[in-house]
Structure 1
Amino acid sequence: MREEKLQEKAQLVEEIKEKVEGAQSIIFVNYRGLSVEDATELRAKYREAGVQYKVYKNTMMKRAFAELGYNEELLDHLKGPSAAAFSMEDPASAAKITSEFAKDHEEIEIKSGIVDGRVISLEEIENLAKLPSKEVLIAQVLGGLNAPIQGLANVLTGNLRGLAVVLNAIAEKKEQEATA
């Protein structure tokens, strides 16, 4: 029986480690005080954005993060009721959803986060939440790349148009000289 419990705990630690390694970012929250309806609403928002939200025992999370080489800075945040929101696709989505939700639900407290394997502060989480979505950023970059190309095309077209006007003027002058 005891061996079975140890095996379950080891599997849980491995599950946490796999999620951590596959996540682009992780946001840790204290969910104490949220009603069942509010917690369900938050889970639905996470699910819609492709964010995995899970409540684990702090001891299991601490063990997994310690095995992954995280220092005491993160482990100190894993006290009291803790849940983790794992952003698997867009690094900003968990931060955005959690920050937006926290504005209307003061019961939820953002504890800490991880982006690209680095523990980030609450200020950095807020900055991450303010970033535009991945799709908007890609559109902005593509728009920024397109503008110089379009400008170059306009300059080249203008130069060709000017050249055509000059050549046409020369041709008309030659015609006038030939007929005169």
Structure 2
Amino acid sequence: MARPDKVAAVAELKDEFTSSSGAVLTEYRGLSVAQVTELRRSLGQNARFRIVKNTLTKIAATEAGLDDEILGLFEGPSAIAFVRGDVVETAKGLREFAKANPPLVIKGGVIDGQPMTPDQINQLADLESREVLLAKVAGALKATQSRAAAVFNALPTKTAQLAEALRAKRAESEPAEAESAPAEESPTEG
């Protein structure tokens, strides 16, 4: 019979897996308590960094319906960053911390139900944050609208300029045509 505290721990981990937009699995062997505290602080509100027991986490991951690839990563001392906000920001935070603190190793993860390798998580960290990407899309849309408005505003102006040029050309050619037209000869009597 399972102990109530373990059942509660599995239920809590399962809830973390299902309610998070992603989870990044790390090995923290060699990090001090102060370094783990610093990592938690650096991730801020975007992620919750938890040191987990592999056996209980495997049960929770299975109950949450995660892929078997993830279950194979639970070897050695494991910690998981459960992502609540922007996955890119969390991946960047973990990567930067791992560069400064080599004992932290990213083992893999799951983002939106899809298993991710450490390389894929690093590629994710290379992306711009969600806010920056949205700002770029908004800027591109605004620029497109501005160009369309400029084209539509230019049409009447260009049409008026073309009409004026045609009128001037016609006015120029009418007097020239009158001068160059042969004079009608009057019939000579003779």
- Whether these two folds match at TM > 0.5 is yes
Shift of 1:150: 1.3
Shift of 1:171: 9.1
Find the aligned partners of 1:134 and 1:76 in 2 and give their Cα distance: 30
In structure 2, the partner of 1:67 is 63
Larger mean Cα displacement after TM superposition, 67-76 or 116-125: 67-76
In structure 2, the partner of 1:8 is 5
State which of 13, 17, 28 in structure 1 corresponds to 2:14.
17
In structure 2, the partner of 1:178 is none
Shift of 1:84: 0.6
Find the aligned partners of 1:13 and 1:160 in 2 and give their Cα distance: 70
Shift of 1:39: 1.5
Shift of 1:147: 2.3
The residue type paired with residue 34 of structure 1 is L
In structure 1, the partner of 2:183 is none
Is 1:106 aligned to 2:102, yes or no? yes
Find the aligned partners of 1:24 and 1:73 in 2 and give their Cα distance: 18
Shift of 1:9: 1.2
Q: State TM-score, norm by structure 1.
A: 0.85
* Unpaired stretches in structure 1, ≥5 consecutive residues: 174-180
Q: State TM-score, norm by structure 2.
A: 0.81
Find the aligned partners of 1:134 and 1:72 in 2 and give their Cα distance: 29
In structure 1, the partner of 2:184 is none
Secondary structure of residue in 1 paired with 2:87: coil
Is 1:30 aligned to 2:27, yes or no? yes
Aligned residues: 172
The residue type paired with residue 8 of structure 1 is D
| Partner deviation per Cα, 1:12-32 (whole Å, 9 max, x = no partner) | 111111111111111111111
Secondary structure of residue in 2 paired with 1:92: helix
The residue type paired with residue 68 of structure 1 is A
State which of 142, 150, 161 in structure 2 corresponds to 1:146.
142
Find the aligned partners of 2:39 and 2:3 in 1 and give their Cα distance: 32
Secondary structure of residue in 2 paired with 1:111: strand
State which of 39, 58, 74 in structure 2 corresponds to 1:42.
39
Is 1:130 aligned to 2:133, yes or no? no
Aligned residues of 1:51 and 1:93 also touching (Cα < 8 A):
no
In structure 2, the partner of 1:117 is 113
The residue type paired with residue 31 of structure 2 is L
Larger-gyration structure (1/2) = 2
Secondary structure of residue in 2 paired with 1:86: strand
| Partner deviation per Cα, 1:94-115 (whole Å, 9 max, x = no partner) | 2111111111111111111101
Aligned residues of 1:87 and 1:93 also touching (Cα < 8 A):
no
In structure 1, the partner of 2:86 is 90
Please give the root-mean-square deviation of Cα atoms over the aligned residues, in Å.
Answer: 2.3
Shift of 1:169: 6.8
